[in-house]
Amino acid sequence: MILDVQNISKRFGGLLALNRVSLSVQEGEILGIIGPNGAGKTTLFNVINGVYPPQNGQVTFRGENITGLPPFAIAQRGIARTHQIVRPLSELSVKENVTVGACFGREHLALGAAARVADEVLEFVGMADKRDMLASKLNVAQKKRLEMARALASRPLLILLDEVLAGLNPHEVTDVLGLIRKIREQGVTVIIIEHLMHAVMNLSDRVVVLDYGAKIAEGTPQVVSNDPKVIEAYLGDPKAAERLLEGST
Amino acid sequence: MKRTWPQSFLWLTLLIIVAIALIPILIDSASLREDLFLTLMLVILASSINIIMGYTGYVSFGHIVFFGLGGYFAFFLMLNYQVHFVLAALASGVGASVFAFLLGIPVLRLRGAYFALATIGINEAVRSFVTNFEPFGGAVGMFFNYAVYDAYGGARNALWFAYYAIVAVALVTVAASFLIKKSKFGLGLMAIREDQDTAQVLGIDPTRYKVLAYTCSAFFPALAGAIFFFKNGIIEPGPAFALLRSIEGLVMVMLGGYGTVTGPIVGAVVYERLRAFLITNPNFSSLHLFIAGLLLLVIVLFVTAGVVGWLRQRVPLLRRYLE
């Protein structure tokens, strides 16, 4: 087990964004996290990588309690993430952005070595031709890819991908799905938040479903997609729909 | 060839500074020496402000506080303990850096305008303190007896000595500014400038990096202050902590191009020349601050990147050659 999240709760004023969420991730696995908007998925990432300290509960990464550590300390231990709303370092070039990831991530590389890693990773994500562009000049799809490159350059053990497919066209989606599989092949564990159902069901070994801050289901994609509670969370009560249909006839 | 260029660029820049600095020595011109002394002092000030403002993104309005403190520390040591000037200057640099380090830990938690305001407050607070601090001479300040200069071969030679010192410090400052920008440390600072929260997610400890940048940027102005007031022979709170000079420093950084190595140098030279022209011109002599203000307005509104930054944006080729 590489990551163990136990009983995490996070409250923002009157809103309970995460309610006693527990989950664990095996090394080398792809875990999908799904749930309707506002279910607490991104908040969970923010708790795991230290942006928000949780009110209670514990996050354990490779046997070490990392709850409440600042984000930079967690990044240095090997957890990298991408942001749902892209946050490029605008006035730096694409390559500099990725070099930052390599320099300050898990391996603390010196500048020269980090620049080489940056080149490799840019090649890997297919952005080598953009390396000298300013990050602010990229389009959204490219910025998302840059987020992934930056995270990968830190040579993480665990990568948290927050909606990297949203807003991409079908062709780009296929591309990025291939990329994520390749990341896993390199031995990196992946947790992915995604709204694109067919993609997440295809990709994930296991899926966790959040709704109103609580975990409502967990299992293989097949099990989860047939779980009535999951269907209800997304579509409302399926029985109610049936009754409605019966009533109308 | 491409890889060694940045280093060559640094050497070229330093060489140009040395070449210009040699002119007054060769033609033995005291007035040119004084002109260049002032210009180099402004280069030091602007390049230092650039480390915290241009690289790290924290606008330090009251940066002159380190200049004043450096001047006072060194003056105090030379006057009361007969410490040699070079030693006193170095001690003042270290003193100002320690002050910046201790101050930076709480103050650099502030972001944006709040930090800028706090730095003004610090400068004003230190000035008030020094004005009432008797060991530093209080409101009257301190002054040298001419005999002090005997150790440096008399007053005339001491002026030359101060000039050599400011040239040396300017060279070191420009080199440090370059090396910081091209280092892993500098990359971390620029990541913080672009987005502190993202920088943190990427593994950068923002507090540590910012405090270190602030500490570095305090060292060189303190040396400049030590040299300036050694040459002056008198130090008073007003001229030592002149907020106006601080703001002029910001104008120079913005004018030349914040975040670049050559920007603050170009800015300092252009601004100094412009000021000298305006002050000596009877039509403008009382307007030079007005024009400086206007200049800042124009830069902020239309050419935020400054002269060097603008050139880099316009001519992509230059990005590789102009730091």
Which residue of A70, A75, A91 is in closest CB contact with B202? Answer: A75
pLDDT in the model for residue A236: 72
B114 φ/ψ angles, rounded to the nearest 5 degrees: -65, -40
ipTM of the shown complex: 0.89
The answer to whether B250 and B53 have CB atoms below 8 angstroms apart is: yes
CATH number, domain containing residue B74: 1.10.3470
User: How many CB pairs (< 8 A) connect A and B?
Assistant: 76
Q: Which of A100, A111, A137, A159 to mutate to test the interface with B (most CBs of B within 10 A)?
A: A100
Q: Which of B178, B179, B202 to mutate to test the interface with A (most CBs of A within 10 A)?
A: B202
All residues at 6 or more sequence positions from B96 whose CB lies less than 8 Å from its CB, including other chains: B66, B69, B70, B73, B218, B219, B221, B222
The residue of chain A with its CA nearest to that of B317 is A132
pLDDT in the model for residue B145: 85
The answer to whether A2 and A25 have CB atoms below 8 angstroms apart is: yes
Range of the domain at B107: 5-321
Our CA angle for A154, B209, B97, nearest 5°, is: 160
> Which runs of E-coded beta strand occur in A38-130?
56-61, 64-65, 79-81
Q: Smallest Cα–Cα separation from A35: which of A230, A241, A248, A243?
A: A230
| B40 part of contact set with chain A, CB < 8 Å | no
All residues at 6 or more sequence positions from A28 whose CB lies less than 8 Å from its CB, including other chains: A184, A187, A189
Number of domains in chain B: 1
The answer to whether B117 and B61 have CB atoms below 8 angstroms apart is: yes
DSSP single-letter state for residue A83: -
**Distance between CA atoms of A32 and B146, rounded to whole angstroms?**
79
A residues 182-241 closer than 8 Å to B (CB): none
Q: What is the mean pLDDT of residues A9-18?
A: 91
Give A209's strand partners: A34, A217
Which residue of A72, A90, A114 is in closest CB contact with B205? Answer: A72
pLDDT in the model for residue A249: 46
Closest approach of A224 to chain B, Cα-based (Å): 32
Q: Smallest Cα–Cα separation from B188: which of A128, A154, A76, A111?
A: A111
pLDDT in the model for residue B111: 85
Fold topology of A1-78+157-235: Rossmann fold (3.40.50)
Contact A105 B198 (CB under 8 A): no
| A89 part of contact set with chain B, CB < 8 Å | yes
**CA-derived radius of gyration, chain A:** 19
Task: Give pLDDT tens digits for B93-119.
Answer: 999 999 999 999 999 999 888 999 999
Contact A110 B194 (CB under 8 A): no
DSSP single-letter state for residue B53: I
Contact A90 B187 (CB under 8 A): no
- Average pLDDT value over all residues in chain B: 91
| A115 part of contact set with chain B, CB < 8 Å | no
All residues at 6 or more sequence positions from B301 whose CB lies less than 8 Å from its CB, including other chains: none
| B128 part of contact set with chain A, CB < 8 Å | no
| B29 part of contact set with chain A, CB < 8 Å | no
Contact B191 A70 (CB under 8 A): no
pLDDT over 50 at B300, yes or no: yes
Task: Give pLDDT tens digits for B26-70.
Answer: 998 889 999 999 999 999 999 999 999 999 999 999 999 999 999
| B205 part of contact set with chain A, CB < 8 Å | yes
B residues 259-298 closer than 8 Å to A (CB): 259
Q: Which amino acid is at B70?
A: G
**Distance between CA atoms of A69 and B19, rounded to whole angstroms?**
52
The answer to whether B57 and B193 have CB atoms below 8 angstroms apart is: yes
The answer to whether A32 and A11 have CB atoms below 8 angstroms apart is: no
